[in-house]
């Protein structure tokens, strides 16, 4: 055997030996039990992470006489889960499926707290939701055709100088289905972002005239529809404007290829956070959903972001379709 | 070689009594030190710990008449792990230029990571992540048990640090004496 091949085989053996030592070391650490409580056997699970359950929606507003539907999504259950629904802590007889439906909600149901308890072999989990009942029908604003004249656009870019830019247009096809609103972002290389505020010109709710707002539902569909060069993160969120300020919900949808549905329901004033405009004063209700509040203009915001300094320059396009807002009144 | 003190021949221990297997600088010394330490660590589990607190080592009733290690037994395994496995890894990578201190650093990092994984809150997220990604297997069950049932202890972190430093010291001494022997 030559010197070179000897050296190569001993190096290989050394790394094999190191791998075996590393494996034994980790086994020794894990096998030691970590200095904790009882572990009966290596082969038997002792604590399984408990199941979880999410009630959807967590707050729901329906018109008086309408139907309220809550759905429970359980996960990490190690046996078929069982469901039990409760209202204000009291068990609802027969409500043992993953969905609970209340037909003919009345004003007495307003403010009722519903909860669902999911039980599986590895534990139980509970999730709660609130029902709001409005005496008036919701005021609905919607657009799925997106003529450019229906919308106004404003944008803020970071960095402001030589930063990202955007172009908004209407595409007559390729939506979900049919026409949709298309936003194309020119993203320079490196870290940067651009937020585009889309406000429907005729979708203005006037609390002083139409009544105080109980909650706002917002739905839209979003998709990434094209891109060249660097991939930006594209997102969409519910947005409202009031008294020169813009507010958006925390929840956002990251838009990827293929149309996805965005929905937030019964959003209260405190769930809309200031994203553009003067900071709110300490004594100011901001936004103000009461009868003395200024007119509320409705819309949505879209955003493109490069999170890495290594992101190359590129163009990304985002589509929005089936925008619908329901304003619930007290 | 520059930088090494001149060693009088009389001080060299490289005579016939120093068996070639155990000459300074040979991997046998780290391996023997590590094995001895590991045996002590095993004894902690065999003698002082409840059988149900470990997955690998059953308690030996005949030896468990009383605690052999006292309070030290609480942290000794955390000292032994990085100490022994640093020395084993170093023995697998003998070097004539400088001791493989990186082995001590690597095992210190591994031991600290496993200890931190037992932090309350972090442990559930890790266990859940393991279970969600890999499911329940013979490999993941002990791991989730370890992070969920193990106890995070700053004393263990200190013991692991001491173990890694002790291993580095052993490597340093063995290397220095090995270099001296080369010159005898």
DSSP chain B: -TTPPP--GGG---STTS-GGG-TT-THHHHHHHHHHHHHHHHIIIIIS-GGG-SS----TTTTTS-SSTTHHHHHHHHHHHHHHHHHHHHHS--SSS--THHHHHHHHHHHHHHHTTSTTHHHHHHHHHHHHH-S-TTHHHHHHHHHHS---HHHHHHHHHHHHHHHHHHHHHHHHHHHHHT-
Whether this model's ipTM surpasses 0.85 comes out as no
**Mean pLDDT of all residues belonging to chain B:** 75
Decide yes or no: CATH 2.60.40.3080 for domain A139-329: no
**Mean pLDDT of all residues belonging to chain A:** 86
Q: Tokens standing for A278? A: 């003067």
Q: Domain A52-134: what homologous superfamily? A: Immunoglobulins (2.60.40.10)
Q: What is the pLDDT of residue B50?
A: 55
Whether B111 has its CB under 8 Å from any CB of chain A: the answer is: yes
User: pLDDT at residue A43 above 50?
Assistant: no
Greater confidence (A182 vs B4) lies with A182
> Judged by CB atoms within 8 Å, which residues 120-179 of B form the interface with A?
124, 127-128, 131-132, 136, 138, 141-151, 153, 156
DSSP H/E element including B104: helix B102-116
- Parse chain A into domains and list their residue ranges: 3-43, 52-134, 139-329
Whether A32 has its CB under 8 Å from any CB of chain B: the answer is: yes
Q: What is the pLDDT of residue A255?
A: 85
Maximum distance among all Cα pairs of chain A, rounded to whole angstroms: 95
User: pLDDT at residue B160 above 80?
Assistant: yes
Kindly indicate the confidence band of residue A9, based on its pLDDT and cuts at 50, 70 and 90. Answer: low
Greater confidence (A227 vs A257) lies with A257
Whether B58 has its CB under 8 Å from any CB of chain A: the answer is: no
Specify the length of chain B in residues: 184
Q: What is the pLDDT of residue A153?
A: 93
For a pLDDT cut of 90, what percent of chain B falls above it?
21
- How many other β-carbons are positioned within 10 Å of the β-carbon of residue B166? 19
Domains A52-134 and A139-329 share a fold: no
Size of interface A-B (CB pairs under 8 A): 119
Q: What is the pLDDT of residue B39?
A: 86
How far from chain centre, in Å, is Cα B78? 8
Distance in angstroms (rounded) separating the CA atoms of residues B163 and B159: 6
Of A21, A47, A49, the CB nearest to B149: A47
User: pLDDT at residue A28 above 50?
Assistant: yes
Q: What is the pLDDT of residue A39?
A: 43
């Amino acid at each position: 055997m030559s010197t070179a091949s000897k050296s190569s085989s001993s190096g290989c053996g050394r790394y094999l030996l190191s791998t075996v030592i590393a494996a034994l070391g980790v086994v020794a650490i894990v096998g030691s039990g970590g200095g904790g409580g009882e572990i009966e056997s290596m082969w038997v699970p002792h604590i399984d992470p408990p199941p979880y359950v999410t009630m959807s929606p967590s707050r729901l507003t329906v018109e008086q006489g309408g139907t309220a539907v809550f759905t429970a999504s359980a996960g990490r259950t190690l046996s078929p889960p069982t469901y039990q629904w409760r209202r204000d802590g009291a068990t609802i007889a027969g409500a043992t499926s993953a969905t609970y439906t209340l037909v003919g909600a009345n004003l007495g149901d307003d403010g009722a707290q519903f909860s669902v308890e999911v039980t599986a072999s590895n534990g139980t989990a509970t999730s709660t939701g609130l029902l709001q009942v409005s005496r008036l029908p919701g005021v609905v604003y919607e657009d799925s055709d997106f003529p450019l004249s229906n919308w106004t656009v404003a944008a803020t870019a970071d960095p402001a100088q030589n930063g990202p830019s955007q172009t908004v247009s209407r595409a007559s096809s390729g939506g979900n289905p049919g026409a949709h609103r298309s936003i194309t972002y020119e993203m320079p290389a490196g870290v940067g972002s651009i937020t585009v505020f889309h406000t429907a010109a005729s979708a203005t709710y006037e609390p002083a005239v139409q009544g105080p707002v109980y909650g706002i539902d917002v739905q839209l569909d979003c998709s990434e529809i094209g891109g060249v060069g660097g991939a930006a993160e594209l997102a969409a969120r519910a947005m409202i404007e009031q008294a020169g300020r813009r507010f958006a919900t925390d929840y956002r949808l990251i838009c990827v290829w293929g149309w996805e549905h965005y929905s937030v329901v019964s959003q209260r004033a405190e769930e809309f956070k200031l994203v553009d405009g003067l900071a709110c004063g300490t004594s100011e209700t901001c936004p103000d959903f009461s009868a003395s509040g200024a007119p509320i203009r409705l819309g949505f915001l879209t955003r493109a972001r490069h999170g890495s300094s290594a992101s190359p320059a590129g163009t990304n396009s985002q589509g929005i379709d089936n925008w619908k807002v329901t304003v619930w009144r007290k | 070689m520059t930088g090494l003190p001149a060693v009088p021949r009389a001080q060299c221990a490289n005579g016939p009594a120093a068996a070639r297997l155990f000459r300074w600088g040979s991997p046998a010394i780290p391996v023997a030190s590590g094995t001895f330490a590991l045996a002590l660590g095993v004894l902690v589990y065999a003698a002082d710990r409840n059988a149900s607190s470990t997955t690998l080592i059953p308690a030996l009733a005949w030896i468990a008449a009383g605690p052999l290690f006292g309070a030290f037994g609480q942290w000794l395994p955390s000292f032994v792990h990085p100490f022994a496995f640093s020395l084993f890894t170093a023995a697998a990578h003998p070097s004539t230029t400088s001791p493989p201190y990186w082995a001590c650093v690597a095992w210190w990092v591994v031991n600290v990571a496993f200890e931190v994984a037992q932090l309350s809150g972090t442990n559930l997220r890790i266990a859940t992540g393991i279970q969600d990604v890999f499911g329940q297997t013979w490999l993941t069950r002990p791991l989730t048990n370890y992070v969920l049932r193990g106890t995070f202890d700053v004393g263990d972190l200190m013991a692991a640090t001491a173990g890694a430093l002790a291993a580095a010291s052993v490597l340093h001494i063995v290397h220095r004496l090995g270099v001296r022997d080369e010159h005898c």
